[in-house]
Amino acid sequence: MRKNIVAGNWKMNTTVAEGVELAKAVVAKSSEVPASTGLIIAPPFTHLVPVAEAIKGSVIGLSAQNCADKEKGAYTGEVSADMLVSAGCAYTILGHSERRQYYGETDAKLVEKVKLAIAHGLSPIFCVGENLEEREAGRHFDVVTEQIKNVLYTLSAEEMAKVIIAYEPVWAIGTGKTATAGQAQEIHACIRKVVAEKFGELAEDITILYGGSCKPSNAKELFACPDIDGGLIGGAALKADDFIAIALSF
Ligand code: 13P
């Protein structure tokens, strides 16, 4: 059976000291969350080592927000999958729309990143989602299907079993506009069907998260949908109380 997960993407927020404090606050409240719900936090690279120390012995998993498409070597400014593992990460977000939109991340690059991350023992939190123009043109199912096919169809079943998918409609990220539970459920069901077309029954075990202005006030309705297995949380993950309230919304 697939696991419910609530993951916090801190994006480019907090200093190291603030990040450690936030991680400690999440740890302090994490005992309220039932074991059936996985908790993950994704701080910036600079915070990973001290945050790993702060969450040591807790149930919280550590994720990066990105990782390099190369193993190692002369790639100034990049951070490799191996480095993330050595810093204490078990996960990395890949293909976030902000990386696709502002840093030119293509599906071809994401194939490399996803494969490398898995080869080094990380579980990718692979993000897909359409922008406003694509949604208004009624192309959202096609866009998300293509993103899944272009990247995840290149994986073996063994590799695919490590992947968490996050559906994040770009028009709902940081805008306060959330997809309705109905809009989210229909696309999550589509994602699961597309995964099943290639990987069969494994699709039932894949966790699919919703992301985009998810907060304590709307999480319950979203998480009640049969194909929504939790959330990838941005803004609300910067407050320990809100993050935990979301994790208590199943
Ligand atoms: P918000 O929750 O701030 O809309 O961000 C969602 C997101 O992009 C998480 O990765």
Q: Which CATH number fits domain 4-247: 3.20.20.70, 3.10.180.10, 2.60.40.10, 3.90.650.10?
A: 3.20.20.70
Sign of the CA dihedral with 172 first, then 23, 117, and 185 last: negative
pLDDT of residue 71: 98
- Ligand 1 contacts (CB < 6 A) are 9, 96, 168, 173-174, 211-214, 232-236
Taking the CB of residue 73, how many other CB atoms lie within 10 A of it? 8
Ligand 1 atom nearest to 96, measured from its CA: 10
Ligand 1 atom nearest to 166, measured from its CA: 10
Q: How much distance in Å is there from the Cα of 28 to the middle of ligand 1?
A: 23
Ligand 1 atom nearest to 98, measured from its CA: 8
Where are the domains positioned within the chain?
A: 4-247
Residue nearest (by alpha carbon) to ligand 1 atom 1: 234
CA distance 6 to 48: 18
- Structure confidence at residue 178 as a pLDDT band (50, 70, 90): confident
Judge whether residue 120 has pLDDT over 90.
yes
Mean pLDDT confidence for 32-49: 98
- Structure confidence at residue 176 as a pLDDT band (50, 70, 90): confident
* Whether the model pTM is above 0.95: yes
Q: How much distance in Å is there from the Cα of 231 to the middle of ligand 1?
A: 9
